[in-house]
């Protein structure tokens, strides 16, 4: 027996789940009991199974528990305890460790805990370390050593019920967080807003609802109104007073207890009355899908007869889910708009390539005729140069579109690297001489061959040479070279020009980008060059130093 404490009579000994012992006196336990007794009304009375083979002790416990407001039941053996726990739902087990029969209290608790999440308090006169070690594997919510007082028993029960409720809430929260993470992953698997809505609804039902509706409002950019219901998989438009109200006000709505089938019609219109009646709909929630301060649509969930009524915590969970769904749907709609813009751009480019090149050919032909007249030759040549420049610009636009869509066609063959260098540099010889720039070629037959599309590779090298000549001052040097690089051949264009500032290097290959020092052109040359090199499974690289020069290079696969 524990000795009396200085402050009063010892009521008993409490051993916590970790095996730590606490001896409670009246004065020591009184403050905690006051708190528990004050809050006792906030806890529902619990169904408690007493497992005790001493009939008088079991009867005494029944009387005490009824006095506390609980609903007790009794099992007189471990086997009977397992049977009753299987057949009935209990909020707590008061388990004697020493029981007659094949199953003692610890073995019975182990079997019960394998199937049911129910807290257990051991009542025992045995508190040796071996017994505590065995009992600890069943994760008990505490131990009370016999004999004990009613106040001690009450405190232990209330603390166990509270702790279990807290543990259960925390476990449910973890489940919800895992679900939200899983839902976010599902939402990210598609950029089709219909697929996003469908996959989300299929995830929600039946895990957190018996019926689900996802509705998207009609958008100004020709996105029609869209609805999807689960489990029916129906994507027909929905006329729902509740959905209309939530989307108009932007405020969530919850009906915790639906009264009669008339409420089904009032909420979701006549088309879903039969479905909701068959489900035995009990409560519903409808929350707006809001992103960037705009209401995209709404998410509605209904619980059926086999599910508990929705609560405020359920609403908080669904609002979190709705925020994630709204972002996913918004991303899908933005992607759809981007796709439509790309299609429109490609349509414009198709018109440009066909409708503009036809009259451009006529202009070039007439310019050649004008050039043959002595008095109009200069005018004809000027018109021809302008038309040729326009023709090149049209070609650049079409190439940029093909590169951007990954549809740049290549006709790959085996070609001598030194010939590519010469053919790319030769057309610029006159320009270089006029500007007083030395244009050099460094390549020999020993370099060998490369695998490439000849015309596209000449286009890429020409763009690099043209850029180098534009930004190299008189007296400077531009070198076009080919040399062996391991199993491949490296092609490079090097200049002694003004160089590229470091802050401009990250944007150098962006489409339509032109640095402050650049002049003329549409800002597509380097973008196209990078795309051509990339289509050859290579990478265009650049090193540049201001007032020293720049070096562009890439490596192609050597020919056999």
Q: Choose among 161, 174, 169, 231: nearest CA to 201.
A: 231
What's the CA angle centered on 437, arms 433 and 438, to 5 degrees?
A: 90
Architecture of domain 10-170: 3-Layer(aba) Sandwich (3.40)
DSSP for 220-236 reads TTS---EEEEETTTB-S
- How does strand 142-145 pair with strand 120-124? parallel
What DSSP assignment string belongs to 82-150? HHHHHHS--SEEEEESS-SSS--HHHHHHHHHHH----EEEEES---HHHHHHHHTT--SEEEESS--H
Q: Which CATH number fits domain 412-557: 3.40.640.10, 3.40.190.10, 3.40.50.2300, 3.30.565.10?
A: 3.30.565.10
Give Cα separations from 403 to 25, 347, 528 (angstroms): 83, 16, 7
What confidence score (pLDDT) does residue 14 get? Answer: 42
The CA-based angle 362-368-373, given to 5 degrees, is: 130
Burial 275-297 (b: 16+ CB within 10 A, else e): bbeebebbbbbbbbbbbeeebbb
SS3 category, 556: strand
Q: Do residues 395 and 372 touch, judged by C-beta distance below 8 A?
A: no
Fold match between 187-333 and 412-557? no
The strand order across the sheet containing 120-124 reads 21-25, 10-15, 142-145, 120-124, 92-96, 47-51, 71-75
Strands 47-51 and 71-75: parallel
Both tokens of residue 119?
A: 């807290």
Determine the pLDDT at residue 521: 56
Backbone angles phi, psi at 121, to 5 degrees: -115, 130
CATH superfamily of 187-333: GAF domain (3.30.450.40)
Query: Going residue by residue through the chain (560 aa), what tens digit of pLDDT does each one get?
Result: 333 333 333 333 444 445 554 444 433 333 343 443 444 444 557 899 999 999 999 999 999 999 999 999 999 999 999 999 999 999 999 999 989 889 999 999 999 999 898 999 998 876 678 888 888 888 898 888 888 888 888 988 999 999 988 888 887 778 778 888 888 888 888 888 889 999 999 888 988 888 899 999 887 566 778 888 888 887 777 778 888 899 999 999 888 887 766 677 777 777 777 778 877 888 889 999 999 999 999 999 999 888 888 888 899 999 999 999 999 999 998 888 888 887 787 777 767 666 777 777 788 788 777 777 767 657 777 887 787 777 777 777 777 777 877 778 889 999 999 999 999 999 999 999 999 999 999 998 899 999 999 999 999 999 999 999 999 999 999 999 999 998 999 999 999 999 999 988 888 888 777 665 545 556 788 988 999 999 999 999 999 999 999 999 999 999 87
- SS3 (DSSP) at 274: helix
Which among 49, 86, 51, 55 is positioned nearest to 71, based on CA atoms? Answer: 49
For 15, 140, 228, the CA distances from 128, given in Å and listed in that order, are 11, 16, 62
Residue of 519, 521, 520, 541 whose CA lies nearest to 530 = 541
pLDDT at 220: 59
**Strand ranges, E, within 294-411:** 294-303
Domain boundaries along the sequence of the chain: 10-170, 187-333, 339-404, 412-557
Main-chain phi, psi angles of 491, to 5 degrees: -110, 140
């Amino acid at each position: 027996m524990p000795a009396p404490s200085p402050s009063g009579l010892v009521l008993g000994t409490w051993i916590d789940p970790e095996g730590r012992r606490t001896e409670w006196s009246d004065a020591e336990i009184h403050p905690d009991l006051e708190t528990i007794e004050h809050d006792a009304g906030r806890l529902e009375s619990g169904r408690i199974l007493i497992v005790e083979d001493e009939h008088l002790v079991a009867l005494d416990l029944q009387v005490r528990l009824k006095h506390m407001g609980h609903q007790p039941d009794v099992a007189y053996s471990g086997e009977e305890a397992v049977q009753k726990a299987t057949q009935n739902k209990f909020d707590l087990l008061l388990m004697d460790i020493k029981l007659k029969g094949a199953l003692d209290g610890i073995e019975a608790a182990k079997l019960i805990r394998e199937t049911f999440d129910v807290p257990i308090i051991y009542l025992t006169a045995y508190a040796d370390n071996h017994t505590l070690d065995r009992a600890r594997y069943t994760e008990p919510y505490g131990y009370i050593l016999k004999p004990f007082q009613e106040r001690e028993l009450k405190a232990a029960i209330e603390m166990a019920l509270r702790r279990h409720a807290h543990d259960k809430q925390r476990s449910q929260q973890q489940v919800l967080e895992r679900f939200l993470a899983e839902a976010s992953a599902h939402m990210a698997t598609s950029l089709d807003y219909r697929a996003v809505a469908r996959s989300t609804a299929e995830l929600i039902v039946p895990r957190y609802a018996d019926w689900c509706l996802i509705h998207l409002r009609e958008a100004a950019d020709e996105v029609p109104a869209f609805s999807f219901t689960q489990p029916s998989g129906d994507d027909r438009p929905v006329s729902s007073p509740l959905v209309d109200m939530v989307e108009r006000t932007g405020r969530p709505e919850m009906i915790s207890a639906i009264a009669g089938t008339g409420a089904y019609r009032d909420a979701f219109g006549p088309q879903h009355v039969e479905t909701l009646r068959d489900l035995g709909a009990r409560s519903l929630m409808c929350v707006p899908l809001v992103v960037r301060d705009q209401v995209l649509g709404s998410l509605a969930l209904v619980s059926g007869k086999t599910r508990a009524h929705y609560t405020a915590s359920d609403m908080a969970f669904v609002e979190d889910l709705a925020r994630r769904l709204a972002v996913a749907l918004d991303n899908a709609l933005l992607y759809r708009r981007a796709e439509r813009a790309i299609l429109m751009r490609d349509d414009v480019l198709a018109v440009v390539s066909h409708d503009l090149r036809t009259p451009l050919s006529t202009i070039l032909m007439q310019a050649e005729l004008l050039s043959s007249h002595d008095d109009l030759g200069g005018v004809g040549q000027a018109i021809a140069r302008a038309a040729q420049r326009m023709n090149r610009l049209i070609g650049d636009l079409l190439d940029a579109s093909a590169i951007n869509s990954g549809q740049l066609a290549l006709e790959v063959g085996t070609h001598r690297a030194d010939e590519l260098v010469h053919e790319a540099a030769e057309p610029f010889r006159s320009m270089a001489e006029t500007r007083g720039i030395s244009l050099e070629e460094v390549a020999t037959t020993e370099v060998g061959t490369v695998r490439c599309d000849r015309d596209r590779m000449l286009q890429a090298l020409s763009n690099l040479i043209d850029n180098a000549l534009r930004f190299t001052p008189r007296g400077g040097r531009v070198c076009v070279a080919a040399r062996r690089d391991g199993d491949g051949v490296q092609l490079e264009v090097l200049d002694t020009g003004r160089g590229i500032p470091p802050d401009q290097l990250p944007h150098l290959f962006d489409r339509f980008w032109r640095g402050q020092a650049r002049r003329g052109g549409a800002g597509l040359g380097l973008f196209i060059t990078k795309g051509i090199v990339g289509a050859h499974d290579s990478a265009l690289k650049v090193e540049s130093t201001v007032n020293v020069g720049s070096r562009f290079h890439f490596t192609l696969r050597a020919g056999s």
